Amino acid sequence: MRAPWLLRVVERLPLDEIVDVFHAPLRGFLARHPRVRRALDGSWLGHPLHPALIPLPIGAFTTGLVLDAATLFGCPWAARGADLAFTIGLVAAVPAVLAGLTEWSYLEGTPRRVAFVHAASNVASTQMMVGSVILRAMDLRGAAMVVSTLGFVVLGVGAWLGGELAFHYGAGVGRISEDRGNTDR
């Protein structure tokens, strides 16, 4: 099966030098701290931890978006819920990011580059969500809603790339079962 055009574009991006700047130190840190690596890679769980953590921030951001839409249709009570949902999403994103970085440390070649773009789009989305929460605190709800909607679109691109990593490249698939016999973890 041929990869979608966007994936083919991402695969060809000349990112190896930039990726190495981040990948090598992360891999070194995790090699020096195997307990941290084990806690974040999900080997204790029996499968990668990152996919188990991402539904909470994505679900919270989705809830915030739906509640924002409800405020546009005359439900003033939904505004406070949207603010809370976006804040919960940001808090929940922290462990998902840490687990994702750990999972990324195992990747090589093209999947590593694709995962870098996946992470970069999620960082951009998270920054937009932070901006939205700040705008909400400043009582600039309309601007906050625009920024969080744009952040949600960017999050969708990152999520799609994450799906491609799992289903097109098999990132993380089988890694835990292969590692179960390894006692240095």
Residue 88 lies in a domain: yes
Q: What is the pLDDT of residues 27-53, one digit of tens each?
A: 999 999 999 999 999 988 888 999 999
Kindly give, in sequence order, each residue whose CB lies less than 8 Å from that of residue 10, ignoring residues fewer than 6 positions away.
Answer: 113, 114, 117, 161
pTM: 0.88
CB atoms closer than 10 angstroms to residue 46 = 9
Q: How many domains does the chain have?
A: 1
Residue range of the domain that includes 77: 49-172
What pLDDT shows up at residue 155?
A: 97
Distance CA(168)–CA(161), nearest Å, equals 10
Q: What is the pLDDT of residues 47-62, one digit of tens each?
A: 899 999 999 999 999 9
